């Protein structure tokens, strides 16, 4: 997921500032590069609490227009 976020356009990310794009990518870096230093309980808690809402939000972005509704047609 982190690599996919890295490849998103700046325009898409800035159009949806409510999504913690930088945090998603940063989490990927920690997991990949410091695997043995990752607290598995914290990782599990983050996945349990934040992955569902993040997935819901990203699915909404994919289903709708790329621009936020407020700026569409301006």
State how far the Cα of 29 lies from the Cα of 5, in Å rounded to an integer: 12
Per-residue pLDDT at 34: 84
In a domain, 60, yes or no: yes
Per-residue pLDDT at 66: 55
In a domain, 25, yes or no: yes
Kindly report the pTM of this predicted structure.
0.69
Average pLDDT over residues 30-41: 85
Average pLDDT over residues 33-46: 87
| CB contact at 8 A, 72 and 65 | yes
Catalytic positions: 28, 33
The parent domain of residue 47 ranges over 2-67
- Report the number of distinct structural domains present in the chain: 1
In a domain, 74, yes or no: no
| CB contact at 8 A, 61 and 16 | yes
In a domain, 16, yes or no: yes
In a domain, 18, yes or no: yes
pLDDT bracket for residue 74 (50, 70, 90): very low
């Amino acid at each position: 997921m982190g690599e996919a976020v890295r490849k998103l356009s700046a325009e898409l990310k800035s159009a949806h500032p409510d999504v913690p794009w930088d945090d998603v990518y940063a989490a990927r870096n920690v997991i990949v590069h410091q695997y043995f230093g990752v607290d598995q309980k914290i990782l599990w808690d983050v996945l349990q609490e934040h992955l569902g809402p993040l997935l819901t939000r990203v699915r909404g972005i994919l289903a709708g227009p790329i621009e936020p509704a407020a700026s569409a047609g301006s």
